[in-house]
């Protein structure tokens, strides 16, 4: 589906798009004090964020103050001049947010994962000219993310951007939600006009990693960051561990190194052009080698078939991975990269052998 996507706002010169504010609107005093501290810190922000409705994993958690909090966002706009934004998850949320003149709406990860919910919101937004941000679904499913974008676009909205907030996973990890940068990068490759915002708060889940992840996003040419800020973060009613004060947030933003996407320097372009040519040549060689490898897989498949041997040989594959991990480490290649690469090659090899098994004489 071809889409003509417009930016959610003109990108500020020499700085990223900045979205900041508390995870949840708890009280009028808390919302106004956070906005006041952001203003006092002198940090330019493009949107003041606050959760009015909070979809929680389990009941009896704080699920937001509801539409009453929208009046506090209106006061933030009136007193401090900040544009405002909040999350919507159903038709009623959309209606109340539009009625209160919220400047930007976003769809949360739990909403993006459900096409029925996305379509409900798209129908409610039909004919409305508002910028919309769409968070990635909680699971690493690029198709769901793209589908949500398409549904919103088909409702007639063109100022669409996305929020990368990481993906849920099982097991121990230093992140609350694993970034899986490659998924967001692939989305940007397919839709280069989409503005990409990094929600470093939900990726990290803890304050000490926020600056690191924000800088990685800038290094990958993201358009901005969304960071949860709170006047007294340790007392926050939701996600306290990942929120920071406006003063700390100002230091985080000031410390970001903003990269240029292109260079006008002729020497730089000539040098990097030469290096890229070498990469192109190596990539061609890798593709040819993989083709040769699959020809061998075909031959092995035919031999196994003649001898009534199963396709999958787990012990053999485990040996290959173990050896490759050691060899890769000697060349500065991570275990994760090597295992991911070999699993993809192995699956392609299995596919080739399955085709051989399905052939008649």
pLDDT at 261: 79
Segment 166-220, tens digit of pLDDT: 999 887 889 999 999 999 999 999 999 999 999 999 999 999 999 999 999 999 9
pLDDT at 266: 87
Is the per-residue pLDDT at 2 higher than 90?
no
At residue 278 the predicted structure's pLDDT band, cuts being 50, 70 and 90, is very high
Q: Where in the chain is the domain with CATH 3.20.20.70?
A: 17-254
Of the listed ranges 77-91, 141-155, 258-272, 346-360, the least confidently predicted one is 258-272
Average pLDDT over residues 275-297: 94
pLDDT at 172: 81
Segment 35-56, tens digit of pLDDT: 999 999 998 999 999 999 987 6
- Of 261 and 296, which is predicted with more confidence? 296
In sequence order, what DSSP letters do the residues of 182-243 get, joined into one string? HHHHHHHHH-TTSEEEE-HHHHHSSGGGHHHHHHHHHHTT-SEEEEEB-SSGGG-SS-GGG-
Is the per-residue pLDDT at 246 higher than 70?
yes
Q: How far apart are CA 157 and CA 130, in angstroms?
A: 7
Average pLDDT over residues 354-361: 84
pLDDT at 55: 77
Phi/psi for 193 (5° steps) reads -85, -10
Phi/psi for 40 (5° steps) reads -65, -35
Is the per-residue pLDDT at 74 higher than 90?
yes
Q: Where in the chain is the domain with CATH 1.20.59.10?
A: 267-358
pLDDT at 361: 59
Average pLDDT over residues 232-246: 97
| Rounded alpha-carbon distances, angstroms, from residue 175 to 168, 184, 202, 211, 213 | 9, 17, 9, 13, 10
- The 10 Å Cβ neighbour count of residue 39 is 17
Is the per-residue pLDDT at 360 higher than 80?
no
Is the per-residue pLDDT at 121 higher than 80?
yes
Tokens coding 56: 């929680």
- Of 130 and 316, which is predicted with more confidence? 130
Averaged pLDDT of the chain: 94
Q: How far apart are CA 67 and CA 305, in angstroms?
A: 66
Average pLDDT over residues 148-176: 94
CATH architecture of 267-358: Up-down Bundle (1.20)
Is the per-residue pLDDT at 69 higher than 80?
yes
Of the listed ranges 20-24, 73-77, 309-313, the least confidently predicted one is 309-313
At residue 312 the predicted structure's pLDDT band, cuts being 50, 70 and 90, is confident
Q: How far apart are CA 247 and CA 61, in angstroms?
A: 28
pLDDT at 73: 98
Tokens coding 75: 């006061």
CATH architecture of 17-254: Alpha-Beta Barrel (3.20)
């Amino acid at each position: 589906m071809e889409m003509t996507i417009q930016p959610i706002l003109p990108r500020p010169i020499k700085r990223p798009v900045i979205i900041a504010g508390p995870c949840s609107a708890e009280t009028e005093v808390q919302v106004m004090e956070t906005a006041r501290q952001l203003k006092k810190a002198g940090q330019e922000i493009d949107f003041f964020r606050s959760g009015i409705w909070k979809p929680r994993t389990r009941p009896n958690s704080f699920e937001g103050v509801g539409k009453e909090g929208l009046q506090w966002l209106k006061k933030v706009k009136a007193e401090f001049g900040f544009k405002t934004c909040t999350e919507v998850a159903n038709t009623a949320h959309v209606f109340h947010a539009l009625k209160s003149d919220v400047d930007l709406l976003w769809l949360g990860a739990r909403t993006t994962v459900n096409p029925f919910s996305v379509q409900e919101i798209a129908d409610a937004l039909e004919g409305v000219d508002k910028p919309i941000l769409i968070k990635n679904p909680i699971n690493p499913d690029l198709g769901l993310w793209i589908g949500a974008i398409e549904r919103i676009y088909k409702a007639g909205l063109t100022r669409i951007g996305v929020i990368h907030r990481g993906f849920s996973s099982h097991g121990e990890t230093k992140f609350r939600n694993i970034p899986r940068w490659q998924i967001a990068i692939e989305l940007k490759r397919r839709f280069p006009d989409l503005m990409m915002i990094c929600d470093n708060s939900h990726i990290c889940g803890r304050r000490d990693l926020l600056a690191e992840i924000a800088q990685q996003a800038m290094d990958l040419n993201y358009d901005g960051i969304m960071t949860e800020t709170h006047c007294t973060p340790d007392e926050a009613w939701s996600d306290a561990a990942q929120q920071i004060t406006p003063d700390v947030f100002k230091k985080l933003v000031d410390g970001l190194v903003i990269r240029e996407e292109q260079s006008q320097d002729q020497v730089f372009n000539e040098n990097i052009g030469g290096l890229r040519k070498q990469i192109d040549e190596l990539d061609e060689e890798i593709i040819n080698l993989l083709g040769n490898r699959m020809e061998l897989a075909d031959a092995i498949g035919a031999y196994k078939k003649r001898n009534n041997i199963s396709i999958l040989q787990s012990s053999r594959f485990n040996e290959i991975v173990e050896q490759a991990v050691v060899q890769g480490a000697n060349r500065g290649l991570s275990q994760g990269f090597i295992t991911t690469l070999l699993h993809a090659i192995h699956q392609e090899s299995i596919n080739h052998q399955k085709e051989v098994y399905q052939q008649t004489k």
